[in-house]
A and B are shown apart, each in its own frame.
Chain A
Amino acid sequence: MSDSLEILPASRTVADPRLDPWRAYRVRLAVFLFAPVAVVVPLTISTAVGAATIVGERERGTGEFLAHSPASTREIYLGKLIASVIPGYVTTIVGFGLYSLMVNLVVGPDVGGWFFPTAQWWVMMLWIIPPFLLVALSLVLRLSARVRSTAAAQQASGLITLPMIGIAYSQATGSLLGSGAGGHAGWIVGAFAWLLAVVSLQRGVRSVTRNRLLGVAQ
């Protein structure tokens, strides 16, 4: 473990030369090694909700009501997207708050007080994770509109979200480690992810049609 921790950089905000190596490792562990969790949790929860959201309407027999409602397909798509994003993101924010509290209570005394979340974590939670979540969900909702059962949607969404988790994990970790671009990696990665999310959402809107909600699409 100590070998693997050697490669982690000292956090700019918690770097303290007076720390003994073991305490410094603990600080770095708290700051850097749990980043993947912040990516996996929202994607897992939101994907589970998103996969069932449109095909679930058909299965419950409520797709017909939705298809004949005054809402346009765009409003339905975006409404379903919001209903899928909120549970995963809220769980992540609450969990992150608890994690911050725990880190500050357990590791905080080593660095002389509360130090977490660091600036990179704020960027990751508020700027990088949301667009990755939107990209994954735009793909999952497309699937949910096309398949014939919730089980099929969940199976197929697993195939989509696994690579998405990998990409989001590598990008989030890279930006957290502050590699490249003079420490602005997080902002740049987030900007690209937002661009990708907008394009993906624009294309995803077309996947929801009234015929698909009714279950009569070819």
Chain B
Amino acid sequence: MTLAATNRGITPRARAPFSAHRMWIVARTDLRQLLRSKDYLLPMVGLGMVFFVVIPTALLLTLTRVDSSAMAAR
């Protein structure tokens, strides 16, 4: 009974015209929460740094060193 009443009350609102402004408010609220959370930001930055900077740099610099070694000559 309560559920049916809830459904009756909310169905017309679901058919309202699409508003990019309201959509952006929902997105902005979530993004603000994420930006304020260090628990989320630090792992995200760490993941990006490890995969895009640390591993490729280490690998490419290692290859640069090997370049002049006897192994490269072989």
Q: What's the Cα separation between A91 and B34 when bound, in Å?
A: 13
Q: Which of A23, A68, A80, A99 contacts B67 (CB 8 A)?
A: A23
Interchain CB contact under 8 A, A37 and B72: no
Interface size in chain B (residues, C-beta < 8 A): 41
Q: What's the Cα separation between A23 and B68 when bound, in Å?
A: 11
Q: What's the Cα separation between A207 and B23 when bound, in Å?
A: 16
A87–chain B nearest beta-carbon distance, Å: 6
Inter-chain pairs besides A45-B48, A79-B24, A210-B6, 20 sampled, C-beta below 8 Å: A22-B63, A26-B67, A40-B51, A41-B48, A41-B51, A70-B13, A71-B19, A71-B22, A72-B15, A72-B18, A75-B23, A76-B26, A78-B26, A79-B27, A79-B30, A83-B26, A87-B34, A91-B45, A96-B52, A211-B3
Does A107 make an interface contact (CB < 8 A)?
A: yes
CB neighbours (8 Å) of B56 from chain A are 30, 34, 37, 99, 102-103
Show 28 A/B contacts (Cβ-Cβ < 8 Å), sorted by A: A23-B67, A29-B60, A34-B56, A37-B52, A41-B48, A44-B47, A45-B44, A49-B30, A69-B22, A70-B16, A72-B18, A72-B22, A76-B26, A79-B27, A82-B23, A83-B26, A84-B30, A87-B34, A95-B49, A98-B49, A98-B52, A99-B56, A102-B57, A102-B60, A103-B60, A106-B57, A211-B7, A216-B6
